[in-house]
Amino acid sequence: MSKDPAIQRMEKIVSLCKRRGFIFQSSEIYGGLNGFWDYGPLGVELKRNLKDFWWRRNVRERDDMVGMDGSIIMNRAVWKASGHEDTFSDPMVDCRSCKSRHRADQLPVKDGLKYCPNCGSRDLTEPRAFNLMFKSFAGPIESDENLVYLRPETAQAIFVQFKNVLETSRQKLPFGIAQIGKAFRNEINPRNYTFRSREFEQMEIEYFCRAEDGLRLTDYWLEERLRFYEDIGIPRSKIHVHDIPDDERAFYSKKTYDLEYEFPFGVSELEGIAYRTDYDLSRHIEHSGKPLEYFDEETKQKFVPHVVEPSAGVDRTALALLCEAFDEEIVVGENGKSETRTVLRFHPRMAPVKCGIFPLLKNKPELVAKAREIATALRPFMTVFYDEGGAIGRRYRRQDEAGTPFGVTVDFETIGENGPEKKDTVTLRHRDSMKQERVSIADLKGRLLEAIA
Amino acid sequence: MSKDPAIQRMEKIVSLCKRRGFIFQSSEIYGGLNGFWDYGPLGVELKRNLKDFWWRRNVRERDDMVGMDGSIIMNRAVWKASGHEDTFSDPMVDCRSCKSRHRADQLPVKDGLKYCPNCGSRDLTEPRAFNLMFKSFAGPIESDENLVYLRPETAQAIFVQFKNVLETSRQKLPFGIAQIGKAFRNEINPRNYTFRSREFEQMEIEYFCRAEDGLRLTDYWLEERLRFYEDIGIPRSKIHVHDIPDDERAFYSKKTYDLEYEFPFGVSELEGIAYRTDYDLSRHIEHSGKPLEYFDEETKQKFVPHVVEPSAGVDRTALALLCEAFDEEIVVGENGKSETRTVLRFHPRMAPVKCGIFPLLKNKPELVAKAREIATALRPFMTVFYDEGGAIGRRYRRQDEAGTPFGVTVDFETIGENGPEKKDTVTLRHRDSMKQERVSIADLKGRLLEAIA
């Protein structure tokens, strides 16, 4: 029986990510750790490009947005106020027989009765709420007073600093506060590679506004975010917008869109855009006793702003970029035989390496010197990879697999051995079409910068 | 009795950081949390500039360095192997009378006897080792098997992924792996503002080499790192290089330099550059049973590489940038009276905002439109701040205090009201000298980009 092609595709992506240094298991040499992942040399650059572009688009290029960076560990009172301490939980049962613990809604059933997937016993406790926040203690004593949580979301840091940011940034409604940072959830079943992990990174905006603008701005942010995904290479057609019906939304939300991507393992959430009304700020006003209201200088009114929250996952988006980019095609190799070419068709602005630079031969000093000179000249402006090892076709293929959009080859024409006409020109090879063109070295930087902007 | 001027200076810096949105107490509205800090709109940009420049200098511009990004929570076995579980501790005593806990080496003494600083009792336990790693549990049961730590340093993630990175990056010795990320230490006494906090960010390089090159490369990295600090605006004269003597170094280190900065609260460590020999990789080979050796293709030898570790603190360096930049000077104000000007003299490449943009008058639509047009044109390339409120002198002062190196004023000459000669020129004002010059709008972007590169 042959495997599901989507599962096969996912297996190939996972294998490529390991082989080329995008993603490794955390602590792999010690058997790993379930739900934790490391990013290798290519993975870290992919994530950097994604986060930098998000920041540029949402913070730097907007005059109605400022950034912040809150601590992962906050005062426990934050999570009491937000409701996480009481309600951020999954239902769990314990097996009295083997002492293992499982999610109540995922227990196997036989003859109409649930049983322990570990030992088969039916002697299970009633479901109890298991809080998904990682606990720790700050300070020298493990007391209730010193109990802290690792934040399960970055959003609350924005709400509790709303007043400080408002007062120091001189913004007026509507305006947003943006943050990128790690969050932790003690998932019972981490799964789907990096999609559902216990440690992950979020890119969140809290966009504060007047109550009457909330619904309109939720739709505005939906469009903005879809445009963002298009601009990083995920077409609108691959994103399913799920307008969450009234009875499935959180009680305080008047509108919520889930943006879902067609991953090989199924259509799954990339981002949520939630109109959260004034719920969060009101909770913190109530619990802290501090005035977090907004004062409108024109109308002289004081009120609690409403908020629209576009909240995206860095790791999920990076995984979507990998899944979207992954391609295999049959091409005719240098030996005339057909072969499979693996290529990551990243948008040039997301590609970890922008340009491979190759001297045609490694034992010809003039070629090597010129290629190194070009690499050095480009490096202040973009990530480049210099490679002199192996046949040129193999070097191209290696960069195809890394998703490098451009290849520059320094050959005998470059150094003037075939006459002065083509001196100081190089071969510029395009990853997707594999087409090659002759470009003068003087034009190279400009051409590349334009493509990756 | 007047205060120590250094303490006064530090108090002013702390006050400015709060007032202008560089740094806030974490969870401030709930009374804060000892040892945790948030970065506001200006602080997050300062940190971004610092981290981005470190990455550019150390990773992108070098062909012998690759990056990675490891998880904060790793398999506990990592910390057994590294020695942290056994030895990363401070000596603590408990007060039997009031149950409080204190660092043994910081207890107050009276009549030759130590006493509890909380209740005065002398009924103290013997010192016991208190491990500084934050503990938590990954998985649904709080068992020894599920015990995990928040990493107390980023370095170990690099060592345990050495083989994966080596195999995927095709690097040859000497080469380095760089990482920026958060780490956590449960300090008993967090102090000196953000200098010693419980949650902090590190920028670390592990530079792998042959044993015979270790000492030379340690000195090479000392020079590199001093040059880095100069290039972000911390002069070499303000950095004390402390060559740690033999009997004070870790037993496995053959050379360690501490780079210390003259903070107002004392000369304190910014960065350590430690030649750690083959200690770390050898420990992980021993504990994991995995072959982490390097195979030299030319000599056909297999060996454990040595490593030089330049390890810097992001928060400490950001604080040094703030301390170094902070200045007060007496100037003659617009009303002819002398006044104190507070200015953050950041290097333009570190400044959170690069350029303030001001229409001379806010009720003149042509001025406002032109100023907004300039802001929009610059925004894709740098962080700008548009401000139309208040007298122009006050707007300049506000940007001085934020450390913005340039101010652009759009006035009547800009829009051609004083004749065609100065049309499409603006006033470019320099923060440090307060000098103003006339610059054409067409030249503006180039001038600014050159200064902040």
DSSP H or E stretch at residue B410: strand B406-410
- Please give the Cα distance from A173 to B125 (Å, whole number): 57
pLDDT at A318 over 70: yes
The answer to whether the Cβ–Cβ distance between B284 and A45 falls below 8 Å is no
Q: Which residue of A has its CA nearest to B287?
A: A30
Count of A-B CB contacts under 8 Å: 250
Query: Of B41, B130, B169, which is closest to A168 when you measure between CB atoms?
Result: B41
pLDDT at A24 over 90: yes
Per residue in A62-121, pLDDT (tens digit) is 999 999 999 999 999 999 999 999 988 888 898 999 988 888 888 999 988 999 998 999
The answer to whether the Cβ–Cβ distance between B29 and A292 falls below 8 Å is yes
The percentage of chain B sitting over the pLDDT mark of 70, rounded to a whole number, equals 100
Query: Chain A contacts of B141, Cβ < 8 Å?
Result: 101
What is residue A47's predicted lDDT score, i.e. its pLDDT? 98
What is residue A403's predicted lDDT score, i.e. its pLDDT? 98
- Which of B161, B188, B208 would you mutate first to test chain A, the one with the most A CBs within 10 A? B161
Overall average pLDDT of the A413-437 stretch? 94
Q: Nearest-CA neighbor of A114 among A87, A88, A91?
A: A91
Query: Chain A contacts of B18, Cβ < 8 Å?
Result: 164
Identify the weakest region by mean pLDDT among A230-239, B182-191, B279-288: B182-191
Q: Residue A206: CB partners within 8 Å, gap ≥ 6?
A: A155, A158, A159, A162, A176, A177, A307, A308, A309
Query: Chain B contacts of A170, Cβ < 8 Å?
Result: 387, 389
pLDDT at B2 over 80: no
A292 neighbors A281 (Cβ within 8 angstroms): yes
Query: Of A27, A68, A137, which is closest to B74 when you measure between CB atoms?
Result: A27
Looking at CA atoms only, how far is residue A419 from chain B in angstroms? 32
Overall average pLDDT of the B159-169 stretch? 97
Q: Nearest-CA neighbor of A385 among A352, A422, A434?
A: A352
- Which of B18, B28, B44 would you mutate first to test chain A, the one with the most A CBs within 10 A? B44
The percentage of chain B sitting over the pLDDT mark of 90, rounded to a whole number, equals 87
- Which of B16, B30, B283 would you mutate first to test chain A, the one with the most A CBs within 10 A? B30
Per residue in B221-249, pLDDT (tens digit) is 999 999 999 999 999 999 999 999 999 99
pLDDT at A195 over 70: yes
Q: Which residue of A has its CA nearest to B90?
A: A140
pLDDT band at A1 (very low <50, low <70, confident <90, very high): low
- Which of B28, B29, B184, B379 would you mutate first to test chain A, the one with the most A CBs within 10 A? B29
Count Cβ atoms below 10 Å from residue B161 Cβ, excluding itself: 27
What is residue A213's predicted lDDT score, i.e. its pLDDT? 98
Query: Of B42, B61, B75, which is closest to A30 when you measure between CB atoms?
Result: B75
What is residue A38's predicted lDDT score, i.e. its pLDDT? 98
Q: What is the mean pLDDT of chain A?
A: 95
pLDDT at A157 over 80: yes
B244 neighbors B230 (Cβ within 8 angstroms): no
The answer to whether the Cβ–Cβ distance between B26 and A182 falls below 8 Å is no
Distance from CA of residue A398 to its chain's centroid?
Answer: 24
Per residue in A327-356, pLDDT (tens digit) is 999 998 778 899 999 999 999 999 999 999
pLDDT at B334 over 80: no
The answer to whether the Cβ–Cβ distance between B70 and A38 falls below 8 Å is yes
- Please give the Cα distance from A409 to A422 (Å, whole number): 13
Query: Of A70, A164, A383, which is closest to B60 when you measure between CB atoms?
Result: A383
Query: Chain B contacts of A139, Cβ < 8 Å?
Result: 34, 186, 188
The answer to whether the Cβ–Cβ distance between A33 and B75 falls below 8 Å is yes
Overall average pLDDT of the B275-290 stretch? 97
What is residue A2's predicted lDDT score, i.e. its pLDDT? 66
Query: Of A26, A150, A164, which is closest to B70 when you measure between CB atoms?
Result: A26
- Please give the Cα distance from B152 to B133 (Å, whole number): 6
